[in-house]
Structure 1
Amino acid sequence: MTLKGFFLLLSIGAFTAYYVYQPIPDQIEERWKLMLTDCFFRTLSHLADFSELTGMKDYMGVMMFITFAERVVPQSDENVHVSEERFDGVEVVVYQPKVLGGETELRRAVIYLHGGGWCLGSSRMGPYDLLARQMVIDLNSVVVSVEYRLAPEHHFPVPYEDVYRVVKHFLQMEVLAQYAVDPGRIAVSGDSAGGNLAAAVSQQLQQDPYQQVKLKVQALLYPVMQALDLNTPSYQQNQNMPILPRTLMVRFWSEYFTSDKNFFRAMMANTHNSPESAALLKFVNWSAFLPESYRGKYNYSAPSVTLRGTGSGPDTLSHSIADPRASPLLVPDADLQSLPKAYVLTCEYDVLRDDGVMYAERLRHAGVQVTHEHYTSGFHGALMFTMWPTDFMIGHTMMENLIRWLQQNL
């Protein structure tokens, strides 16, 4: 090899190492695996930015590659019967235990809502398929995995409404009988944006005076709970952390509501609140609802309020971010008191950590029985990293602990 070739190879190696390396806290296990995983996500994000800038394809259209890459065809196996159906017009994948001859016992049921920032993800992705099968086997349960429509093609409240329709349909006595489900043992669960939808659905069902069948438990996994303050201590501490940097989470929120880039820029600056939404900031006051151990070195200051329009109907956007169906943390205490028993999972290295912690605190203060499981070495999305090549031990631990809690409480 010539000296010139050697220096070229050395330069390429140095650039690769510089690009791959990310300062990841020592407390996180399998740090290099996370660096490599994050390198893939960052590269795809850069490509998506370039594609949108040049007008080839919008950002989320490129990021959907993640969904397509992990997509599987849900199929029955020796233990689980799988069917793709429609509940009130919404696509679902239903997982059921294969029935032994003469079995008549009613089963548990879990309605599961996938994550992906309301813009990405699918119930048909490998990790969700694996989780559903594990729940069927370990809980002897029926699992309904919901394929709700996604933003930015379908803005809020379409994804929420899809999920609510599925839940209402499934909770009909004749439908439960069709799947041999015990009406008193039904859970709703979801991760990230799916946790947001699960919390919102739980609240709305409790307020429906005509709803006869109630949910027994809700399991919220690093949920997104509010869009009013995007500068909580966890947003600040973890703004550059894999797998969900602050910029991406703010982009998810923005795309959920509107395709107007002015609103995204306002959310990035945390200046997107109007007088209407500012009236609800008392429910997101992390100096009151966040235990001191999570506040760290950060001091509370309320987000600013502006009357400036975004060009996309500011009244509509103000109403949307203040809507508890989008931000479940915003409901008053009285609306929390009758909610089902809750499991809330949070991760230390996650911009959404404080959302989940504050909701767990508010539920507890309202008299709801809450199990808050905080992973001091956890990072966002870890529960879905359970398959090669992104197979993390903490993801398996989270899955085992979630299922164990459901075994004991559902």
Structure 2
Amino acid sequence: MRFEGFAVVLLAGALTSYYVYSPVPSEVEEKWKLVLTDCFFRTLSHLADFSEVLGLKDYMGVMMFITFVEGVVPVSDERVLVSEEQFDGVEVVVYQPAQQDASVELRRAVIYFHGGGWCLGSTRMGPYDQLARKLVTELNAVVVSVEYRLAPAHHFPVQFEDAYHVVKHFLQNSVLSQYYVDPGRVAVSGDSAGGNLAAAVAQQLQQDPDQKVQLKAQALLYPVLQALDLNTPSYQQNQHMPILPRTLMVRFWSEYFTSDKRLFHAMMANAHNSPESATLLKFVNWSAFLPESFRQAYNYTAPPVVENESSGPSSSPQRSMADPRASPLLVPDSVLRSLPKAYVLTCEYDVLRDDGLMYVTRLRSAGVEVTHQHYPGGFHGALMFTMWPSDFEIAHRMTENYIRWLQLNL
């Protein structure tokens, strides 16, 4: 019996070790901390899959547990005044310096869009609340954190429209005056899907002939920028990496557009492009826009173009993924030329790395001032891991560098 008991314990330990372990490259900073953090995310993902198969709750409904467990109630303190408001019908949390003296110098402002694949996340999560407070205190800035509606309850373009309406509302002179904000010192920013919204809003705003006040800067943190090619070198290299494996990013994209599971399967095969998006593939040709050092041994092959069929994904999602409001990388150079200066953060071990790198290349070619900060040991979502028990040194470094750029450029 002793031997049998020992064998059971040994087997249980081996199975646990196998489950916990993730094939994380040694170059990743604080590797084992990331492995343990990812174990939580993978467990929740497995539970979400199981729940969906049983018809108990959809996948994203279960994954929203991450949002709830990180939730906080944004409250004012001695340095930061916090208020929950509605800007043109969209919920926002406004953070501003507690000192409300109209005689002081006009302030900077950052309009921030949270990440979460357009399906998860909230301004009321601890890491976003903490980041907003740091921006207020270190920049003497007003921060508008946007609570845009989420998929699958709301599909594209709802998230973009919420983001755009908030920015348009805030950039009215009367609103800027209310918060003592300098009209010439406003930036949009966001991480991951929030970076997508920030980039798309910046593009659309400068094409609006009625918009008088324009943005001074855009700060994009490991942004997702295109849905046409989901087989770039970074998608291939990092398909099993924490915190955003390829399968999850594809699921986010498909849920953003539709609840039709056929689109997910088509996107997983990278066989989701319609003839109408074929002419736009030139803008995501990574053999042209990706620096050679990031191409490694990968050979470029253009994604196949498939005709719309009754058995395939509907044409509406296919039109949406070719829309620059969803895929900001797809705009021509003429749109890029008038964009505000940009800060782009990318991480080596991130499926979205090449989206950011290609955008940097295209922005610079169009004459836009770009600061690109790449983290060779970084992973997707790293900047949000600033709180116990997932407190990463790289997250604090990213935050410091990001705020320093805003100090110098906003």
TM-score tier after normalising by the smaller chain length: over 0.9
Corresponding residue of 1:329: 329
Residue 3 of structure 1 deviates from its aligned partner by: 2.6
Distance in 1, matches of 2:134 and 2:94, equals 13
Distance in 2, matches of 1:269 and 1:21, equals 27
Residue 312 of structure 1 deviates from its aligned partner by: 7.7
Among all aligned residue pairs of Structure 1 and Structure 2, give the percentage whose two residues are the same amino acid: 75
Cα deviation, 1:127-178, whole Å, max 9, x if unaligned, reads 0000000000000000000000000110000000000000000000000000
- What one-letter code is carried by the residue in structure 1 that aligns with 2:323? D
Q: 1:102 to 1:224 in 2, by over 3 A?
A: closer
Corresponding residue of 1:2: 2
Distance in 1, matches of 2:248 and 2:207, equals 33
- What one-letter code is carried by the residue in structure 2 that aligns with 1:253? W
Distance in 1, matches of 2:121 and 2:80, equals 23
Query: Contact 2:260–2:313 at 8 Å: present in 1 too?
Result: no
Corresponding residue of 1:174: 174
- What one-letter code is carried by the residue in structure 2 that aligns with 1:243? I
Corresponding residue of 2:104: 104
Distance in 1, matches of 2:372 and 2:2, equals 60
Corresponding residue of 2:377: 377
Distance in 1, matches of 2:144 and 2:209, equals 24
Corresponding residue of 1:187: 187
What TM-score do you get using the length of structure 2 for normalisation?
A: 0.98
Aligned Cα root-mean-square deviation (Å): 1.1
Q: Secondary structure at the match of 2:72?
A: coil
Query: Contact 1:258–1:312 at 8 Å: present in 2 too?
Result: no
Q: 1:148 to 1:165 in 2, by over 3 A?
A: same
Corresponding residue of 2:213: 213
Q: Secondary structure at the match of 2:112?
A: strand
**Where in structure 1 are there 5+ consecutive unaligned residues?**
none
Corresponding residue of 2:92: 92
Residue 333 of structure 1 deviates from its aligned partner by: 0.2
Distance in 2, matches of 1:151 and 1:309, equals 25
Distance in 2, matches of 1:73 and 1:254, equals 31
Corresponding residue of 2:75: 75
The aligned runs of 1:201-240 (5 Å cut-off) are 201-240=201-240
Corresponding residue of 1:21: 21
Cα deviation, 1:279-315, whole Å, max 9, x if unaligned, reads 1000000000001011001000000010143658732
Between the two proteins, the alignment pairs up a number of residues equal to 410
Higher mean displacement: 242-251 or 25-34: 25-34
Residue 190 of structure 1 deviates from its aligned partner by: 0.2
Distance in 1, matches of 2:10 and 2:77, equals 50
Q: Secondary structure at the match of 1:153?
A: coil
Query: Contact 2:263–2:313 at 8 Å: present in 1 too?
Result: no
Residue 7 of structure 1 deviates from its aligned partner by: 1.8
Corresponding residue of 1:52: 52
What TM-score do you get using the length of structure 1 for normalisation?
A: 0.98
Distance in 2, matches of 1:318 and 1:390, equals 38
**Where in structure 2 are there 5+ consecutive unaligned residues?**
none
Corresponding residue of 1:316: 316
- What one-letter code is carried by the residue in structure 2 that aligns with 1:385? F
Residue 102 of structure 1 deviates from its aligned partner by: 6.8
Cα deviation, 1:221-249, whole Å, max 9, x if unaligned, reads 00000000000000000000000000000
Structure 1 moving runs of 4+ over 4 Å: 100-103, 310-313
Q: Secondary structure at the match of 1:10?
A: helix
Distance in 2, matches of 1:361 and 1:117, equals 24
Corresponding residue of 2:157: 157
